[in-house]
Amino acid sequence: MPSPTKSTHHLLIDGLPVTVTLKNQKNMYLRVRPGVLVHRGEQDQRVSEPTVDITAPYSIHLSDVEKFVRSRRNWIEEARDRIQMEAEVRANSQNPAGPQNAAQHENLLGAWPLERENEARAILETKLPPILEKWQQRTGRAPSHVTLRHMKTRWGSCTPATGRIRLNLALAYVPDELLEYVLVHELTHLDERGHGAGFQRRLSAYLPDWKEKRRALNSYGSY
């Protein structure tokens, strides 16, 4: 009976999903691939997180793959950030209108000039520290990094495995209570990866009116 040409394993390494394919080859290769474009409506589309794929020889132990991934973790996260940003730029060019908003609000998730990005960054660098300090004390959790950047498809994101939180520069122009909601939402992901019952219970304990805040935020763009 001929031996299989490959076998695939799905690992979770320190919270990072990794697909490992064992093949008839001599070396191990690591690739970070772009996520897929997910359509949630005519004017609402998002890009899923980049994936981490490894191909390795049959003779390798999966424990060695785990060690290799841990040794390259910083590079992987930097690559994921870069690829995610590039994918969002491509998605934005395919959907220039952006999410539909209520008539009374400007579309904050549309294209911005560099001058506005700089202005928004300065605003958030003033607004964010006291809010972050408040919620670090209340939740007992602190992000390892907070990255500010303009994103057209989301208000924020979190990588629980590394503790990294990304916030949209557009949050500079929403009410402070909505900036606070997004930050707490992402801090909650440090303990709860998905948006299931556990996540909602924890978020409700922090912000009982979070659903109202989410609706208010959605008037500026879908979240």
Q: Answer yes or no: do 130 and 87 share one domain.
A: no
CA gap 88, 35 in Å, rounded: 10
Domains in the chain, number: 2
Q: Answer yes or no: do 70 and 148 share one domain.
A: no
The Cα-based distances of 120 to 113, 148, 208 in angstroms read 11, 9, 28
Which residue ranges of the chain lie beneath pLDDT 70?
Answer: 1-4, 36-48, 84-112, 221-223
* pLDDT score at 102: 33
100 occurs within a structural domain: no
102 occurs within a structural domain: no
86 occurs within a structural domain: yes
* pLDDT score at 93: 45
Residues 6+ apart with CB under 8 A from 143: 132, 158, 163, 164, 165, 186, 187, 190
* pLDDT score at 205: 96
* pLDDT score at 108: 59
Q: Answer yes or no: do 129 and 70 share one domain.
A: no
Reported pTM: 0.57
37 occurs within a structural domain: yes
* pLDDT score at 140: 93
Give residue 119's domain range: 114-218
CA gap 170, 120 in Å, rounded: 7
| pLDDT tens digits, one per residue of 151-179 | 877 899 898 888 899 999 989 988 899 99
107 occurs within a structural domain: no
- Tally of CA atoms within 13 A in the half-sphere of 187 that contains its CB: 25
Q: Answer yes or no: do 82 and 142 share one domain.
A: no
* pLDDT score at 46: 55
Q: Answer yes or no: do 53 and 135 share one domain.
A: no
Residue 207 maps to which CATH number? 3.30.2010.10
Q: Which residue blocks in 114-160 are alpha helix, DSSP H?
A: 114-139
Which residue, of 62, 94, 126, is where some domain finishes?
94
* pLDDT score at 85: 65
